[in-house]
Amino acid sequence: MTATQTRPIDLYFWPTPNGHKISIALEELAAPYTVRFVAIGKGEQFAPEFLAISPNNRIPAIVDPEGPNGKPISVFESGAILIYLGEKFGRFYPNDARTRVAVNEWLVWQVANVGPIFGQNNHFRTYAREKLPYAITRFVNETHRLFGVLDKRLAAREFVAGEYSIADMALFPWMRNWERRGIAIAEFDNVKRWHDAIAARPAVVKGLAVKAPTEMDLAGDEAAQKILFGQR
Ligand SMILES: N[C@@H](CCC(=O)N[C@@H](CS)C(=O)NCC(=O)O)C(=O)O
């Protein structure tokens, strides 16, 4: 299915790697979208209005006013959102059955492995008040292993499933900031080459530039202010 988008898609977002997957995808698709900020540091993700579309209280989520049969649809979980957008617009999600399997494999690999493990790495290495050597070593070692898996995969191909796809969009926001994750990128030449090629794409630059707003940025946008500052 291919589609054009007349009314903007609402993107429930906070500038984190999971949020940036979807701002990058929407920029790549040149689909109109409105960013609805969900201040996860302030607990906005637990608001009943947000839980109605994202029951796991996590960003990202989208609401497409032009869903199947022209009716609105909400989607949560970044992998499900990327598949939805790839199918709807018929881009970055190949029709060929074998290639589609490869895209699905690496997309699921990202959400099931890279996201959770790198998240724990951040938590124990950077945010935890008590620095627990066992936990830090465990998650840095696992992060290192995952960088190695991707590096090997990219040795024989430009992108993770051949051509640039939603699987690369899912992986890219996590495979940056390697120093912060305790990784020496010199060990992973293929990841570095792949990262640099994606980072240079204009849509990726725009998608990553979606930042948290200040109160002043939102002056006049009542709906966004409500979500960001909790004025319900
Ligand atoms: N598996 C989810 C993970 C989403 C996720 O972890 N989102 C984080 C921000 S990066 C969040 O919303 N955290 C809020 C919370 O934990 O309450 C996905 O891929 O969409």
With contact defined as beta carbons under 8 Å apart, do 158 and 197 qualify? yes
Q: Which residue's C-alpha comes closest to atom 6 of ligand 1?
A: 58
Q: Do the beta carbons of residue 24 and residue 208 sit within 8 Å?
A: yes
What would the pLDDT profile of 210-223 be if each residue is shown by its tens digit? 998 776 666 666 65
Q: CA-CA distance, 83 to 3, in Å (whole number)?
A: 14
* pLDDT tens per residue across span 183-208: 999 999 999 999 999 999 999 999 99
The per-residue pLDDT for range 12-51, each reduced to its tens digit, is 999 999 999 999 999 999 999 999 999 999 999 999 999 9
Pocket of ligand 1 (CB under 6 A): 16, 18, 40, 45, 57-60, 77-79, 111, 115
Atom of ligand 1 nearest to the CA of 43: 17
Separation between Cα atoms, residue 1 and residue 15, nearest integer Å: 30
Asked whether the beta carbons of 172 and 24 are under 8 A apart, the reply is yes
Nearest protein CA to atom 2 of ligand 1, as residue: 77
| Residue 111 CA, closest ligand 1 atom number | 19
> Does residue 224 contact residue 44 with C-beta atoms inside 8 Å?
no
d(Cα 8, Cα 125) in Å, to the nearest integer?
A: 38
Ligand 1 centroid – CA 58 distance (Å)? 4
pTM value surpassing 0.95: no
